[in-house]
A and B are shown apart, each in its own frame.
Chain A
Amino acid sequence: MTTTETTETTRSSPKQADDRFINRHASLMPTFAALGVLVVLLVAAQLYFGDFVSPGNMSALLLDNAYLMVIAVGMTFVILTAGIDLSVGSVMAFTGILLASLLGRGMPAAVAVPVILLAGAVIGLLIGILVQYFDVQPFIASLAGLFLARGLAFVVSLKSIRVDDPSVLWLQSTRFQVGDWYITPTGIIALLAVGIGAFVLQYTRFGRTVYAIGGNEQSARLMGLKVARTKVFVYLVSGSLAGLAGLILTAYSGAGYPRNGIGTELDAIAAVVIGGTLLSGGRGYVLGSMIGVLVYGTIKTVISFLGAEQAWMQIIVGGLLLLFILIQRFIVSRSERRE
């Protein structure tokens, strides 16, 4: 039986080892780049401000952006299938104000929280059904979700509603301290979301199907994978996580506010892309998205430290996004080139 030699083995050794590494881990390159940027940012901020990288600041970094981290996890799933979910900011606002409203009417938190998670899931499910069974493009389908959720948020209440329920407020007010580092339950929730998301994508068939769909949906179908079910489910996951983010944000700010989350989906997309996930699907990691959120949060913190106008926040995030896209294109095109 003849043994096949692949093209790689006909080249000389050191380059071969390089290429093998790239060939195995090509998808990780953009995420490494994101990590690099985060480190650079933190180092630069530290040098400039003196005590930027302090336990207090770093702890706050996670907690101030916990809601975005949760949303980014869901967005990663969706973008991996080459889809997109524009509704998450509005769903977050809707579930947030719904929670505040239900609590205000005396519903116990133990009931209200599952209800709002369910609400998020239902909107996600509707989007998923439109995408999969009616062949609607994800952009348009999630646009409908955006409109629906935003409108419903205002239907629940035109103004903000304060939350007094102690069990919800507990999520934000309690701190678990280790020296000067601290974390609240909301932070733990965010980290759990990241951890579970990463595990699912790496170690479950559902997760691998997500990647397969992003790689080549038709192939995935022909390979016998449960494509339809998976595609619907990623939107359900995204919607549920947006609901979870609503809980976190409401706990964080002590109130529900129907105008929350305008533009949050874009911040999430920026964070996910910066974290190394390709918009075309099939490549990326939840951990990368987490790094992307931290990059976003660091910039926000730096800007407020500088006392600069928040307007700069948007300009810088835009510029950084551009930089990352260019880096991604460069790296991906290199790793895919075959001699």
Chain B
Amino acid sequence: MGVVKHRLFWPIAALLTLVVVNTLSRPQFIKVTVRDGQLYGALIDILRNSAPLMLVALGMTIVIATRGIDLSVGAVMAVSGAVALTIIHDSGNPDNLGTVVSAVVVALLVALVLGSWNGMLIAVLGIQPIIATLVLMLAGRGVALLITEGFITTVNSGPFEYIATGYLLILPFAFLISLTAILLIGAFERRTALGMLTEAVGINPEASRLAGVRSRGIIFSVYVVSGLMAGIAGIIYSSNIRAADANAAGLFIELYAILAVVLGGTSLQGGKFSIAGTVIGVLIIQTLNSTILFLGVPSAQSPVFFALVVVLVVIVQSPRVRQLGRRPRGATGSDGTADKPAKAEVGA
């Protein structure tokens, strides 16, 4: 019974179910082939295609842990792609590795600045995260459109394409990027005290401040990280389509990222979070996407399936379902007064 109660049980079970169902309907689903020292297969595609969402969701996880939210990630993706591609395009030298590297660096710096902007509004000025990041979400896409002057800038650049389509040591490069991010963030949060302090800040920012925790610093930095992750995701996305599409880049990605975080067991109320949970959540979403495409459903209609997934997950996680058979309502700690959690930033 301890296994069933474990936080990650349902997410892992859901993922495994999806994999099994897929394999039963198309056995080649789990087949992985090696060609020219590179791995191919449906599973590998999932790992590769999940990179942008994985990066954004990782950043979103720690933002949500501080009881915040970052709606601007899609817009930051668009800006990052726009910046990088414009630099490459205008350089006249798109195949030059140096050009590509500097374009990527500049784009990531811009993403860091945008993340810091959010961090400043929220940690320093005390603005509600949903509004602060909504501002950038609206304005950011406009900025991206201005950078690309309304067009979809395309480039033909070997080094740049490598990011999304290339391989390094048998695995897709994009996947390795997201794997590195997972390991780095996981290490930072759990091997240092950063994880617990972040959770404390999310659960009770004022108590944390009085306890000597650098609340402001932590809140600021999670938005910077989220911005950076979105920046990298934007690079991968534009590398994939070899273009900067300011309107389509990262469209709805914040919603899928939040969904992944919630699927993984982290609560939108903030506090305790799980990197592993988010990773599984992202894989669930990506696998589901792959399943839907395989079924021949037009991708535009796929949101219906995601709606069902969301509903299923939240119903299973719902306290009402968990408490089957407990009669007294509202029983809480022995002080007697029911502790209602403070309203979550996202408008709970």
Contact = CB atoms under 8 A, between A and B. Distances in A.
Direct contact of A and B (CB under 8 A): yes
Interface of A: 79, 82-84, 86, 130, 133-141, 143-148, 150-152, 154-155, 158, 217-218, 258, 262, 266, 269-270, 273, 279-281, 309-315, 317-319, 321-322, 325-326, 329
19 contacts: A86-B255, A130-B311, A137-B347, A139-B258, A140-B310, A141-B314, A145-B307, A148-B307, A151-B304, A280-B343, A311-B141, A311-B145, A311-B246, A317-B138, A318-B137, A318-B138, A319-B139, A325-B127, A326-B125
Given A79-B347, A140-B262, A311 B314 contact: no
Given A146-B303, A322-B131, 6 more contacts: A83-B347, A136-B315, A143-B258, A144-B314, A148-B303, A309-B146
Contacts of A326: 125, 127
A234 to B, nearest CB: 13
B346 interface: yes
A313 B142 contact: yes
Interface string B316-348: 001111000000000000000010100110111
A266 B307 contact: no
B307 A314 contact: no
Contacts of A130: 311, 314-315
A269 B269 CA distance: 21
Contacts of A152: 304
Contact of B344 (A137, A269, A309, A311): A137
B302 to A, nearest CB: 7
Given A279-B130, A311-B142, A155 B348 contact: no
A152 B346 CA distance: 26
Given A138-B348, A154-B298, A155-B304, A143 B310 contact: yes
Contact of A140 (B251, B314, B319, B338): B314
B304 A147 contact: yes
A155 B301 contact: yes
Nearest to A156: B301
A315 to B, nearest CB: 4
**Chain B interface size, under 10 / 10 to 19 / 20 to 34 / 35 or more:** 35 or more
Contact of A314 (B141, B318, B340): B141
Contacts of A315: 138-139, 142-143, 146
B290 to A, nearest CB: 17
Given A147-B304, A279-B130, A318 B314 contact: no
A114 B255 CA distance: 31
B275 interface: no
Contacts of B127: 322, 325-326, 329
A129 to B, nearest CB: 10
B268 interface: yes
Interface string B10-37: 0000000000000000000000000000
B268 A140 contact: yes
Contacts of A279: 128, 130-131, 347
Given A148-B303, A151-B303, A273 B319 contact: no
B41 interface: no
B137 A144 contact: no
Given A82-B348, A139-B346, A151 B301 contact: yes
Nearest to A216: B340
Q: Which among A134, A151, A273, A281 has the greatest number of chain B C-beta atoms within 10 A?
A: A151
B135 interface: yes
B306 interface: yes
Contact of A309 (B138, B145, B251, B305): B145
B295 to A, nearest CB: 13
A273 B150 CA distance: 29
B124 to A, nearest CB: 13
Contacts of B303: 146-148, 150-151, 154
A83 B348 CA distance: 5
A146 B145 CA distance: 25
A314 B348 contact: no
Interface string B128-159: 10111011111111111110001000000000
Nearest to B121: A322
A309 B150 contact: yes
The 8 closest A-B pairs by CB, nearest first: A151-B304, A318-B139, A311-B145, A314-B142, A151-B303, A148-B307, A318-B138, A84-B347
B146 to A, nearest CB: 5
A314 B139 contact: yes
B134 A134 contact: no
B310 A322 contact: no
B307 A137 contact: no
Nearest to A137: B348
Interface centre among B130, B150, B304, B307 (most CB of A within 10 A): B307
Interface string B216-260: 000000000000000000000000000000100001000100110
Nearest to A311: B145
Given A130-B311, A279-B128, A315-B142, A82 B347 contact: yes
Nearest to A319: B139
B300 interface: yes
A306 to B, nearest CB: 14
Nearest to A328: B131
Given A147-B306, A318-B139, A326-B127, A135 B318 contact: yes
B344 A148 contact: no
Contacts of A134: 314-315, 318, 320-321
A269 B131 CA distance: 9
Contacts of B269: 137
B310 A144 contact: yes
A139 B268 contact: yes
B314 A325 contact: no
B208 to A, nearest CB: 21
Contacts of A79: 347
Interface string B253-295: 0010011001000001100000000000000000000000000
A281 B319 contact: no
B300 A154 contact: yes
Contact of B131 (A218, A258, A273): A273
Most chain B CB inside 10 Å of its own CB: which residue of A150, A280, A312, A314: A314
B347 A138 contact: yes
